[in-house]
Structure 1
Amino acid sequence: VPTALAASPFNVARTAQVPAGWALAVYARVPGARFLALTPEGNLLVSQPGAGKISLVRPSTGGGVPTVSDFATGLNQPHDMVFHTIGSTTYLYVAESDKIGRYTYQPGNLTGQSRQVLITGLPSASTPELNGAYAHALKNIALDSSHKLYVSIASTCNVCLSDTQSDPKRAAIYRYDADGTNRQLFAQGLRNAEGLAFIPGTDVLWVTVNGRDNMPYPTQDNTGQYGQVSTSYVDNHPPDSFTKVVDGGNYGWPLANPNPDGPTGLDNMPFDLDYDTNRTGAVPLSTFTTISKGIQAHSAALGFSFLQGTAFPAAYASGAAVALHGSWNRSVVTGYKVIYYPWNAATQTPGAQADLVTGFTNGGIWGRPVDVAVDPQGALLISDDYSGTIYKLTAPASLLATRTGAGASLAHLYPNPAGSSTATLDLAAVPAGSYLATVLDVLGRPVLPPAHVSGGGTATLALGSLGVGTYLVRLQGERFSQVLQLVRE
């Protein structure tokens, strides 16, 4: 923590857990920091809904703390921001609680220029029918390669039917042309879709969603709990969601909730009828679209970034990083961390969840992650609205990045994902010599004894003792080193 940034909560020592050899630093202090966007030249924009503004964070030319200045002010709870180029014009799209606007952007702009308001009248606390009550008024957006604009309108409540009957529907995503015209309902049943992003190189939309609270036990069984609200059940139900969203999809809320207790666990979960709104099954479960991946209930999954195509370390670069803001009403707190999902390129789905940054509750809650973004140097920037901080997570080039040069990316693993007890390390293209192959967890800790292998051939890695999850295989020698990602299914 730089001395100039050491105000509370960093006036006392704070400890976080990151992958072995990595470093987490306080990069900047931005009160109420929420969503992040990297400018085309690599500076950072940070939304501050409570202050009604967007700040610009620029590295110091002298190596000191960054310069933080106002980029846009006088806004109505600005939240999500997306850069998007149409023809020769680059725009910065900004989601406010009641509108969507855009600025034209030229490299070097220090303030927002030529603002256009594209969409007005989005539901907010000022909407007459809501009487000033809107629990999730902040808006999130994304744009696809066809210049379609997607707007998430979150629910006003924990659980209610009125959001499904309003115009526009709430707990829904609408699609517009890039100029804000031609509104169409894209998907619904998404209680509070905070993060929106497309898999890089595709127009496949994924979102994070916060599930409802205080859910009554939904099943008439021999437990005798039907319709009861109990801490033991509510603590783990329903899960938050990290899911693919399709045109016309209905993801359940407020009529059904994903159930993580079946044989598939948090993957492709079945639904339970919501006791409060649909206990008789008037709207059948067959109505709803399967949710791809669940996250521990009440984690409050917010912003996320796909890492493909970024400068993030190669061993992690096929995956997604997700910020978990943390629970407020669970008997044992959960969330308060940044997690990582490896990405299966064949199925275009996430693998097993792994922790990337934890510790924000060490010694009491001192941080709540909101969003993540990768800077041009490959560091992961993390916003925290609780302490008003931007953190920078940096990997050591010597430990978890492939050395550049003629030997780069020559080793391969198969099958990967590995469903059997072994995987083959193909070293045919690796320079001759002796190497150590070490299997690590995603925090960089060895989980199997290192194996001695030789360049020019193949080696078998015994995986029998490894559980399902994501691992790294580090190959080290005098002339060449490489880190590969291994997924165990």
Structure 2
Amino acid sequence: MKTTLIGAAAAAVLAMPAFAQGADVPDNLEKLGNFQTTGTTEFTYVPQEGAFADGIRKTLERITLPEGFRIGLYAVVPDARHMAVGPQGIVTFVGTRKDKVWAVTDRNKDRVADEVKDFAPSLKFAIPNGPCFSKDGFLYIAEQNRVLLFPAAEFFYESPDVAAFNLVKQGELIPPEEESYNHTARVCRIGPDGKIYISLGQPFNVAPPEKLDLYREVGIGGIIRMNTDGTGREVYTYGIRNSVGHDFDPETGDLWFTDNQVDGMGDDIPPGELNHQTEMGQHFGAPWYGGGDVRTNEYAGQDVPYDVVMPAVEMTAHAADLGMTFYSGSMFPEEYRGAIFSAQHGSWNRTTPVGARVMVTHVAEDGTATSEPFAEGWIDGNGEYLGRPVDVAQLRDGSILVSDDLAGAIYRIWYEGM
């Protein structure tokens, strides 16, 4: 049965002209797309026990949660960033801001990972921060300037060679001359319309005027969407500084996303943002606004040329809100069902550090939203970070995973009852 499904998936991909391999494609990607071996035979495995793991467990003893909830170490995963849980529940793929994507497997289903190894080791990734899955098991990985597609990744990941194709070729996600070392962590989601949505952070603290026309045209400082064969690219969202987390409300289909706001304006302004988009083409204020209704110094006094949608929730300034997910499980109490769980990475230059926690946002029937801390304690009494949460994902049992790129770990949070 598996062989039949894999063959059907591969045939569907090969029938799509957008995936034709170009001369600029690395040899191994071309080989994998033609179902040829690369000669790669070795994985990099990450030890799951020992002093390092024990130290992380010790840190988790200080994390506070609402009554009835527990947190534990799920996996040691170096540089862990955004996560994509496979639809079959076999493996979780974890991106990084370096050159690895990790495959995390809980083989005995005790809700602790048994194996962490690199995914597709014959490929060289460049900031593969953003994995996401379609419901039919196609894995997409958004890199700095490329998007790759892996049909039936939950089947192929056991081998060093995996079926792999371009969705967006290297150098075509953004213009190559706009590549930067800053704000390059992309995220992706498959929307209720079946299209893939990809965030494209702009690299500046405040984007300069001479860049705005280009950015608007290609979607830098926004969210783009396209068909899952790579065609039909269009800009869906405008006026974002650097969004590294979005998800769709399962009830309404609306897009919600976090946005990191302008630095250098003081400890307490501007606020971070959790935004709610209700239709294509809405504008969320950057660079005229630094966050919320706080105007940037660079554009102060200028007329704003667009109708601006203000954030649904103003978050703590400089807490660095990143990955988010709507909770659709049944393990947590009723009050959390349909809520948004999001990760605050923590401030990088605030006088007193803030963030480094998991937030929960409750959305009312009228669309209004309120946020509060859900899991915190990763900043100690000396103001030192013991961890920096990045993303939140849901397992099939209704528990949630939280990634941490400072500790190099994934945590699992579950509910045991009062």
Q: Is the 8 A contact 2:329 2:399 kept in 1?
A: no
Q: Is the 8 A contact 2:327 2:340 kept in 1?
A: yes
2:276 match: 244
2:302 match: 281
1:137 match: 184
Shift of 1:115: 1.4
1:103 match: 150
Q: Distance in 2 between matches of 1:317 and 1:384?
A: 24
Q: Deviations over 1:389-421 (max 9, x none)?
A: 11111211x42xxxxxxxxxxxxxxxxxxxxxx
1:115 match: 164
Alignment CA distance shift 1:302-1:181 (3 Å): same
AA partner of residue 76 (structure 1): A
Question: What is the aligned counterpart of 2:289 among 253, 256, 260?
Answer: 256
User: Is 1:37 aligned with 2:84?
Assistant: yes
Question: What is the aligned counterpart of 2:140 among 93, 104, 122?
Answer: 93
2:30 match: none
1:325 match: 345
Q: Return the structure number with greater helix share.
A: 2
Structure 1 counterpart SS, 2:212: helix
1:21 match: 68
Pairing of 1:46-57 with structure 2 (within 5 A)? 46-57=93-104
Question: What is the aligned counterpart of 2:115 among 67, 71, 77?
Answer: 67
1:362 match: 380
Q: Distance in 1 between matches of 2:186 and 2:48?
A: 35
Q: Is the 8 A contact 1:310 1:374 kept in 2?
A: no
Alignment CA distance shift 1:7-1:102 (3 Å): same
Structure 2 counterpart SS, 1:211: coil
1:383 match: 403
1:420 match: none
Alignment CA distance shift 1:10-1:106 (3 Å): closer
Structure 2 counterpart SS, 1:93: strand
User: Is 1:296 aligned with 2:316?
Assistant: yes
Shift of 1:279: 2.0
Pairing of 1:156-195 with structure 2 (within 5 A)? 156-161=203-208, 162-166=210-214, 168-195=218-245
Report the aligned-residue RMSD. Answer: 2.5
Structure 2 counterpart SS, 1:214: coil
Q: Distance in 2 between matches of 1:149 and 1:355?
A: 30
Q: Is the 8 A contact 1:196 1:205 kept in 2?
A: yes
Which range is displaced more, 136-145 or 27-36? 136-145
Pairing of 1:216-235 with structure 2 (within 5 A)? 234-235=266-267
Q: Is the 8 A contact 1:141 1:149 kept in 2?
A: yes
User: Is 1:347 aligned with 2:366?
Assistant: yes
Larger radius of gyration between Structure 1 and Structure 2 = 1
Q: Return the structure number with greater strand share.
A: 1
Q: Distance in 1 between matches of 2:188 and 2:48?
A: 36
Q: Distance in 2 between matches of 1:5 and 1:323?
A: 27
AA partner of residue 178 (structure 1): T
Q: Deviations over 1:245-298 (max 9, x none)?
A: 231111111112344xxxxxxxxxxx243221x2232435x6322222111110
AA partner of residue 270 (structure 2): P
Q: Is the 8 A contact 2:345 2:355 kept in 1?
A: yes
Gaps of 5+ in 1: 216-233, 260-270, 400-489
Alignment CA distance shift 1:127-1:394 (3 Å): same
Could you list the runs of 4 or more consecutive aligned residues of structure 1 that deviate by over 6 angstroms after TM superposition? none
Structure 1 counterpart SS, 2:138: strand
AA partner of residue 376 (structure 2): T
Shift of 1:23: 1.7
Q: Is the 8 A contact 2:400 2:412 kept in 1?
A: yes
AA partner of residue 103 (structure 1): F
2:17 match: none
User: Is 1:306 aligned with 2:356?
Assistant: no
Alignment CA distance shift 1:115-1:235 (3 Å): same
AA partner of residue 163 (structure 2): S
Q: Is the 8 A contact 1:83 1:90 kept in 2?
A: yes
AA partner of residue 389 (structure 1): A
Q: Is the 8 A contact 1:311 1:376 kept in 2?
A: no
Alignment CA distance shift 1:106-1:369 (3 Å): closer
Shift of 1:170: 1.5
Q: Is the 8 A contact 1:311 1:374 kept in 2?
A: no
1:197 match: 247
Q: Distance in 2 between matches of 1:309 and 1:379?
A: 8
Using the size of structure 1 for normalisation, the TM-score is 0.68
Shift of 1:12: 8.7
Shift of 1:70: 2.1
2:41 match: none
Alignment CA distance shift 1:61-1:175 (3 Å): closer
Task: Percent identity, please.
Answer: 28
